[in-house]
Amino acid sequence: MRRIVIFASGAGSNAEKIILHFKNSAFAEISTIFSNKANAGVLEIARKNGIKSIVFGREDLENGAVMEQIKKIEPDLIVLAGFLWKFPSDIIALYPDKIINIHPALLPKYGGKGMYGRYVHEAVLKNKEKETGITIHYVNEHYDEGTYIFQKTVNIEKCNSPEEIAQKVHELEHEYFPLVVEKLITNN
């Protein structure tokens, strides 16, 4: 069985879609959900689906404690699904081309430090963009700069609020992220 590990900081709607996608898979499983927030919605999703979860603090990420947990799992793929801290370079070095992130915009636009979730959609609206989208990319030491794996665009000319844009983007994420994960885990 191939093992997928998910890191998430928030509601976890993307994590949930990935969990459901692999629920009856004979090929790959979600081994563990890691979260840096003790009250993150993703932890309830993990519990409901019988998936082990680990909550950690910044220190655990920096002193190698999280890395030790990951090593024990021996994951085939590490998926950042709404994980809002910078991923440590020692873990990136250990798993080259096995860590992916989803970003709620068409990188290289609207990426970088501080550009996450609602802030991205607010900036997109402010700039009167006609379209936005999603980018799934490999993770390197720089925020949102790893090689792109997949992008999809959506028209937002009729959207008048960041929430409306967020909804369109979430629809894309939920449709395509599990499929991209499946493709990568199959080819790994």
User: Which residues in this chain contact ligand GAR in the complex, by CB under 6 A?
Assistant: 8, 10-15, 81-82, 102-104, 116-117, 120, 169-170, 173
Q: Distances in Å between the alpha carbon of 56 and those of 59, 128, 151, 153?
A: 8, 38, 31, 34
Neighbour tally for 134: CB within 10 Å:
25
Position closest to ligand GAR via CB = 82
Q: How far is the CB of 72 from ligand GAR (least distance, A)?
A: 25
User: In terms of CB distance, is 82 or 162 closer to ligand GAR?
Assistant: 82
d(C-alpha 67, C-alpha 75), whole Å: 11
User: In terms of CB distance, is 70 or 81 closer to ligand GAR?
Assistant: 81
β-bridge partners, 187: none
Look-up of token digits 């950690």: 56
Q: How far is the CB of 113 from ligand GAR (least distance, A)?
A: 10
Active site residue 103: yes
User: In terms of CB distance, is 72 or 154 closer to ligand GAR?
Assistant: 154
Neighbour tally for 68: CB within 10 Å:
10
Residue from 21, 103, 137, 174 carrying the catalytic annotation: 103
User: In terms of CB distance, is 102 or 156 closer to ligand GAR?
Assistant: 102
Ordered DSSP codes for 6-36: EE--S--HHHHHHHHHTTT-SSEEEEEEEES
Q: How far is the CB of 122 from ligand GAR (least distance, A)?
A: 12
Q: How far is the CB of 106 from ligand GAR (least distance, A)?
A: 12
By annotation, the residues acting in catalysis are: 103
